[in-house]
Amino acid sequence: MPLWTILVWLVIGGLAGFSAQKIMGGASSNGLFGDIVLGILGAVIGGYGLSLLGIAGNGGIIATFVVAVVGALALIWVARKLKS
């Protein structure tokens, strides 16, 4: 995998984590930086999980961002439930 692809995923994941934190609202015990990191991980997990289901593919940047936000929302939700 080329380096630029990894950098694009990091940027999309970071934006997805930021967006997911804003969508979920409330006080985050992870902080903004923690939610961005969870967003990056959630983007990877969401992309991988949906590709296993045959849903995700090369849908373009918007589809990739939506998948990343969904994965970030799920991971941030789990992290918040585990901390409470």
The domain locations on the chain are 41-52+62-84
Residue type at 34 in one-letter notation: G
Q: Which pLDDT belongs to residue 57?
A: 57
pTM comes to 0.78
Question: Average of pLDDT values for 39-65?
Answer: 77
3-class secondary-structure state, position 29: coil
58 band by pLDDT with thresholds 50, 70 and 90: low
Gap between the terminal Cα atoms of the chain: 38
Question: Average of pLDDT values for 31-50?
Answer: 79
Distance separating alpha carbons of residues 2 and 15, to the nearest angstrom: 21
